[in-house]
Structure 1
């Protein structure tokens, strides 16, 4: 008996396979094998466990399983889908029945708990309408009401048992299940070819690559612009700040030297020139150190190496103060001093003679001494004031020369630093551009690979889908053209 049934099932399976092989001989199996078992499934709390227990008791000769008892590559001979009479099915319930009956044609809808809900028939009709609108195959799906574990009375399973027994005994069931498996398999293969040909599975990666490529190019442009602006800005600030620093130091040393000149004594005049030259050298050194420190900060902020430091700058050639070339002025001061002293001497001698005629000789001597001393003092003081005036003018001249020298030093050092930093930045830009070009080339290569793979998949799709579609049409014509096997 079982041998004859197995042979009938094998013949039915072979007949279903022949429908597909007649169009595409390369298709030999849908990838699943039908197990001689009935799958009982349903949403949570729908009562599928109670229905399966009752069916096992009423139909001991039939194997009933849950979804977890089926291994990969196995499909049930029939599906009993249990839903509750409390409310119509939801989208998740529809997805569950789609998954449970992918490779099985025989699907029976069961509305459970009809003893607790009087309007279960309305729920059944609503469920049937929902599934019919979802897929054409559910239009011929039979529905029954059961009460597997009622609170009062006996279980109501007779209609389900009779329907299931009759459908399982149908000799055409195995062929239709095989055709249903072929339909699902062919739909999946066609869908995969369509997805591969359109590049849908690669599109996300392609979009990411294109976005990254654009981001790399945008980042390079932005970085190049930012670095160029930063370098120009830093150099301009360096010119302004260092120029102000140099002028300020020159003004400070000029004020300092002029204050020294205003109170200088005769003995310090000879050493003042050396002291002024020393202070000028210190100013040049301070400005040079300030330039170096500022440029080091600029290079650090720009993340560039510090330019090579030049040799210590020399003090500019400063002229000597014209203190000795004043012969006419000296003669004039001597004449004026002598005249002033003579006048004082005459005045003193007359004053003493008028006061004491006896002291006329002494008055002349005293007057002469006083006149001489005053003449010497006037000449010396006038010479000192003259030297101070000369030194004051000389300080102004040398500080002007010093200012020009340090300003030139600032301009030269900043220009050299700008040239060196620009060269370093260009080298870094070249390195970064090479790295960015390498990344872009790698992404372009991957994009080309995706384009080539998509083109190949499209060519394969155009070659393979027509026979697959014809095979699918033949399977559907056989399934939906002969509706006697699944009509209620």
Structure 2
């Protein structure tokens, strides 16, 4: 076996834990001076460097910022101020500086200005071992590196440092301390990876995201279907009411025209009715198109195009005005009777006159009777034609109402089919996107599960070995 104490320590650890990577540090003949802020670290470092230049030639005294990456000191001088008691944060600072170094010397500085420095020294001796048992044997000395008067008081520090550095066991203990830090770090890392606290939180988050994607997918699909059905049902009711209202409006307009009908307008009335019915069909069709476009816009779907089919035509036909021979005969008889009565009544006014005026009055009475007869016959015929036209308009607008109801129903059914197909396509697209998202989450969950299993396997295989090696290292260090 080699006589090098570092090699002997490495061989001891390799025998217990083969394959463990050794500490990646480079030990130098360096004394590291560190401590909390305002403790006088720089002053102690300068004074100690001047003093050791003659006593320990070749050794460097540095502060933490002067160490190169991967370089560790052979001894650590921990400086605390006599003005304040040692705090836990100060202990953590020492723990970081002396992670790879077993030789630690405590210094209470500024003893020239603070007479209670011995009390602060006793406090430090009690606090530091409570923080970490490895510091229970740390030697404490007082120093005044930059006194207000007189020479620096660091002889005790220099003597203690030279004494400890002269120990033949320093290299072995420092190497053991490096191994202790390395093994503890590896064991903590393996145990932390196996516990996977961060991974468990990530897995829980992924599970929540997966459940949320599924829930949103179900909700969005149901909401869209319900919204489409609701909007279509509402549009069907509103458009049906709109068609009936438009039909009633046309019926009222035509009835008013019939009430004011004259014989001169009878011939053109049929064409006028056909035009009004066609206009009503066009207006209802445009209203249906606009309403369905609003429904599509509310649902975020493409607008329903207007129907390519020709608009239905309402066949009004001709009003039954010609077949009225018997009624005309009866009207003539009624008119002749009414006119004869008028003529007879007027003739009595001229009966007492002279023969010539009486004859002229009789002729006038006959003319008036004939005129009344003709007037009655014409008026009765016009009223009859108005009644016939009113019934004809009612039948025609009834047919219009049926046509508009059919138009609305067919357009709404066609729109529902079109929008349902587009909605199904959109749902399929979102389902594909949701499936891809879920697949990605499942892959990440599977990766975390595999990583957790691998970490657990590594822990079960390596952690007992590392802990046995760590126990042996600590036993050699006397802990």
What's the TM-score, normalizing by structure 2?
A: 0.93
Give, in whole Å, the separation in 1 of the partners of 2:460 and 2:104: 35
> Quick one: which of 50, 56, 62 aligns to 2:43?
50
Q: CA deviation at 1:258?
A: 1.5
Give, in whole Å, the separation in 2 of the partners of 1:280 and 1:175: 112
Taking a change above 3 Å as real, the CA distance of residues 266 and 128 of structure 1, as seen in their structure-2 partners, is: farther
Residues 270-279 or 46-55, more deviating: 270-279
Taking a change above 3 Å as real, the CA distance of residues 232 and 120 of structure 1, as seen in their structure-2 partners, is: farther
Secondary structure (helix, strand or coil) at the match of 1:480 reads coil
Q: State whether structure 2 residue 27 is matched by structure 1 residue 34.
A: yes
Taking a change above 3 Å as real, the CA distance of residues 328 and 133 of structure 1, as seen in their structure-2 partners, is: farther
> Quick one: which of 448, 451, 457 aligns to 1:450?
448
Taking a change above 3 Å as real, the CA distance of residues 124 and 408 of structure 1, as seen in their structure-2 partners, is: farther
Q: State whether structure 2 residue 121 is matched by structure 1 residue 124.
A: yes
Q: State whether structure 2 residue 182 is matched by structure 1 residue 179.
A: no
What's 2:260 paired with? Answer: 263
What's 2:390 paired with? Answer: 392
Q: Does the Cα contact within 8 Å between 2:32 and 2:73 map onto a contact in 1?
A: yes
Q: CA deviation at 1:330?
A: 2.1
What's 1:73 paired with? Answer: 70
Q: Does the Cα contact within 8 Å between 2:289 and 2:304 map onto a contact in 1?
A: no
What's 1:143 paired with? Answer: 140
What's 1:224 paired with? Answer: 221
Give, in whole Å, the separation in 1 of the partners of 2:239 and 2:118: 95
Taking a change above 3 Å as real, the CA distance of residues 287 and 81 of structure 1, as seen in their structure-2 partners, is: same
Secondary structure (helix, strand or coil) at the match of 2:16 reads coil
What's 1:14 paired with? Answer: 7
After TM superposition, the structure 1 = structure 2 runs for residues 268-287 of structure 1, keeping only pairs within 5 Å, are 268-287=265-284
Give, in whole Å, the separation in 2 of the partners of 1:206 and 1:71: 40
Taking a change above 3 Å as real, the CA distance of residues 128 and 406 of structure 1, as seen in their structure-2 partners, is: farther
Q: CA deviation at 1:342?
A: 0.7
Taking a change above 3 Å as real, the CA distance of residues 145 and 354 of structure 1, as seen in their structure-2 partners, is: farther
Q: Does the Cα contact within 8 Å between 1:350 and 1:363 map onto a contact in 2?
A: no
Q: Does the Cα contact within 8 Å between 2:312 and 2:403 map onto a contact in 1?
A: no
Taking a change above 3 Å as real, the CA distance of residues 119 and 411 of structure 1, as seen in their structure-2 partners, is: farther
Q: State whether structure 2 residue 342 is matched by structure 1 residue 344.
A: yes
**Which protein, 1 or 2, shows the higher relative CO under an 8 Å CA cutoff with sep ≥ 6?**
1
Q: CA deviation at 1:331?
A: 2.2
After TM superposition, the structure 1 = structure 2 runs for residues 234-273 of structure 1, keeping only pairs within 5 Å, are 234-273=231-270
Q: Does the Cα contact within 8 Å between 1:35 and 1:77 map onto a contact in 2?
A: yes
Q: Residues 204-248 of structure 1, C-alpha deviation per residue, up to 9 Å, x if partnerless? A: 443443233223212212221221222122212211222222122
Secondary structure (helix, strand or coil) at the match of 2:134 reads helix
Q: Residues 413-455 of structure 1, C-alpha deviation per residue, up to 9 Å, x if partnerless? A: 1122112211111111111101211121122122112211221
Q: Does the Cα contact within 8 Å between 2:88 and 2:131 map onto a contact in 1?
A: no
Give, in whole Å, the separation in 1 of the partners of 2:149 and 2:251: 118
After TM superposition, the structure 1 = structure 2 runs for residues 459-478 of structure 1, keeping only pairs within 5 Å, are 459-478=457-476
What's the TM-score, normalizing by structure 1?
A: 0.91
- Structure 2 spans left out of the alignment, 5+ residues: none
Give, in whole Å, the separation in 1 of the partners of 2:116 and 2:324: 135
Q: What is the RMSD of the two structures over their aligned residues, measured on CA atoms? A: 2.0
Secondary structure (helix, strand or coil) at the match of 1:121 reads helix
Taking a change above 3 Å as real, the CA distance of residues 363 and 73 of structure 1, as seen in their structure-2 partners, is: same
Taking a change above 3 Å as real, the CA distance of residues 313 and 64 of structure 1, as seen in their structure-2 partners, is: same
Taking a change above 3 Å as real, the CA distance of residues 122 and 317 of structure 1, as seen in their structure-2 partners, is: farther
Give, in whole Å, the separation in 2 of the partners of 1:303 and 1:215: 23
> Quick one: which of 206, 209, 212 aligns to 2:209?
212
Q: Does the Cα contact within 8 Å between 1:21 and 1:28 map onto a contact in 2?
A: no
What's 2:425 paired with? Answer: 427
Secondary structure (helix, strand or coil) at the match of 2:29 reads strand
Taking a change above 3 Å as real, the CA distance of residues 227 and 127 of structure 1, as seen in their structure-2 partners, is: farther
Q: CA deviation at 1:282?
A: 0.8
Give, in whole Å, the separation in 2 of the partners of 1:172 and 1:448: 51
Give, in whole Å, the separation in 2 of the partners of 1:358 and 1:137: 164
Give, in whole Å, the separation in 1 of the partners of 2:453 and 2:350: 133
Give, in whole Å, the separation in 1 of the partners of 2:443 and 2:435: 12
Residues 342-351 or 107-116, more deviating: 107-116
Q: CA deviation at 1:79?
A: 1.1
